[in-house]
Amino acid sequence: FTEGDAILRRQSQRESAARTYARSLPIVPVRARGMTIEGADGRRYLDCLSGAGTLALGHNHPVVLEAIRRVLDSGAPLHVLDLATPVKDAFTTALFETLPPELADRGRIQFCGPAGTDAVEAAIKLVRTATGRSGLLAFSGAYHGMTAAALAATGDTSVQGAAGVTDGRVVRLPYPYNYRCPFGTGGAAGAELSARLTAHLLDDPKGGVQPPAGMILEPVQGEGGVIPAPNAWLCRMRRITADRGIPLIADEVQTGVGRTGTFWAIESSGIVPDVMVLSKAIGGSLPLAVIVYREELDCWQPGAHAGTFRGNQLAMAAGTATLTYVRENDLAGRAATLGARLLAGLCGLMGRHPCIGDVRGRGLMIGIELVDPAAEPDDYGSLPAAPGLAAAVQREALRRGLIVELGGRHGSTVRLLPPLTVTDQQVEAVLDRLADSIAAAGR
Ligand code: PMP
């Protein structure tokens, strides 16, 4: 009976039953560097969860630690509300250098608080204030956070909990989830039909959809099962919203900072949203969330949006170091290359394991959807989801020193979010361990 076991037991007694990662990953991390986490029992794990996609540079990267130390040693205040400081100025400058010119040149930034959900909340409030309308278009399978408006926009009912958090003002549209697309498979056809349905709902006077305050989408759904939206679909959504004066909010909380092979995921389609929601990796491991938006939407009066924790100096310094390092070392390009290698390796596994229904992703944001190969395919040719098998793969992976997370509508997608600093050897090790885990779980 080890110290780690005692910690796990105490936490399971004291923490809410809602605890998630701690349940599926019963480890007690005590040290971490890069992609490696060491548990209290001395075991080492390759971390493909990266703080739910937060750790672009992995754990404790030297440039992040150095940036934090510099602030600590300088005597700068650690808590500054929303006052102007040199640390904040450096962060804003580094962030704006990464944005599309339309936002970099004339955009505005609002610091929102520590969490992604704070920024989603601010984005929805902003477009509601700016348009004077209240409806919101959101997508099936979306994940936007756990606070009221963000949760209402989230499309996975299992996390919505008790009545009262759903919101009749949210109109849910189908996301182009091609493996289980209600419009048939073929990426372009599914995307086209989803776009046509959206336009029809907005334009048909009998459609019952009042002009909404905005549309919110993830360029690649993360928690929803790692589903990249086709670029053509993103372009259609941009055109549909622009033509009708509906602000488009891109939630890049998980996809940002190089993860999908471009600095921001919207870049691969060339679209520029009206509002970008940014968190996770922008704080270089520490809590930070902002929205960036077009000047025309800057409708708030002084004090119209507030929050005590909008000026975390350590997070802004760690964020500046991360944004700069990703940009100067083209880690987005590296994510594209290594992501393609991972996807190719996983596609190779599909041939050997019929329980792999789909492998998909963009850059280093990858999903493996597990299915029941013995079952009958549904009307769209897809096999039923196999959440039990996915959980077994996760357990087998952990036994082999590999941390992966699950997601998707049915919890049947194994998600890989390695740091962008993952080495070629680590990519091969991830593939080997996953292959063994799937073989062991599928037996
Ligand atoms: N949006 C997206 C796309 C996310 O993936 C998440 C978190 N997984 C959030 C919003 C919410 O962020 P947080 O958990 O920091 O509130």
Q: What is the pLDDT of residues 117-150, one digit of tens each?
A: 999 999 999 999 999 999 999 999 999 999 999 9
Instruction: Please give the pLDDT value at position 379.
Output: 75
- 3-class secondary-structure state, position 82: coil
Out of 91-105, 170-184, 206-220, 283-297, least confident range: 170-184
Q: Is the pLDDT of residue 429 over 90?
A: yes
How many whole angstroms from 339 Cα to the centroid of ligand 1?
A: 22
How many whole angstroms from 117 Cα to the centroid of ligand 1?
A: 6
Q: Is 221 in the pocket of ligand 1 (CB under 6 A)?
A: no
Instruction: Please give the pLDDT value at position 75.
Output: 97
160 or 299: which carries more pLDDT confidence?
A: 299
Q: Is the ipTM of this complex over 0.95?
A: yes
Residue whose C-alpha is closest to residue 354's, from 323, 390, 381, 383: 383
d(CA 49, CA 397): 12
DSSP letters spanning 274-290: SEEEE-GGGGTTS--EE
Output the CA–CA distances (angstroms, integers) from residue 60 to 232, 284, 319, 365, in the order listed: 38, 9, 13, 21
Residue whose CA lies nearest to ligand 1 atom number 12: 116
Q: How far, rounded to the nearest angstrom, does the alpha carbon of residue 186 sit from its chain's CA centroid? A: 25
Burial of 113 (0-12, 13-18, 19+ CB in 10 A): buried
Q: Is the pLDDT of residue 230 over 50?
A: yes
- 3-class secondary-structure state, position 356: strand
Q: What is the mean pLDDT of residues 370-379?
A: 90
Q: 109 φ, ψ to 5°?
A: -120, 140
Instruction: Let me know if domain 77-328 sits in CATH 3.30.360.10.
Output: no
Q: Is the pLDDT of residue 160 over 70?
A: no
Q: What is the mean pLDDT of residues 175-180?
A: 85
Out of 34-48, 158-172, 289-303, 328-342, least confident range: 158-172
Instruction: Please give the pLDDT value at position 198.
Output: 85
Q: How far, rounded to the nearest angstrom, does the alpha carbon of residue 353 sit from its chain's CA centroid? A: 28
Out of 75-89, 177-191, 211-225, 284-298, least confident range: 177-191
Q: Is 120 in the pocket of ligand 1 (CB under 6 A)?
A: yes
Starting at the edge strand found earlier in the chain, the sheet holding 356-362 runs: 356-362, 365-370, 413-416, 405-407
Contact, 280 vs 286, CB < 8 A?
no
Q: What is the mean pLDDT of residues 55-59?
A: 98
Output the CA–CA distances (angstroms, integers) from residue 161 to 142, 147, 156, in the order listed: 15, 12, 10
Q: What is the pLDDT of residues 310-326, one digit of tens each?
A: 989 999 999 999 999 99
Q: Is 145 in the pocket of ligand 1 (CB under 6 A)?
A: yes
Q: What is the mean pLDDT of residues 403-428?
A: 96
d(CA 187, CA 6): 50
Q: Is 52 in the pocket of ligand 1 (CB under 6 A)?
A: yes
Q: Is the pLDDT of residue 183 over 80?
A: no
Q: Is 170 in the pocket of ligand 1 (CB under 6 A)?
A: no
How many whole angstroms from 313 Cα to the centroid of ligand 1?
A: 21
Instruction: Please give the pLDDT value at position 208.
Output: 66
Which sequence spans correspond to the domains of the chain? 77-328
- % of the chain with per-residue pLDDT over 90: 81
d(CA 195, CA 189): 10
Tokens of 282: 């922008």
Q: Note the pTM of the prediction, 2 decimals.
A: 0.96
How many whole angstroms from 78 Cα to the centroid of ligand 1?
A: 25
Q: Is the pLDDT of residue 184 over 50?
A: no
d(CA 436, CA 357): 17
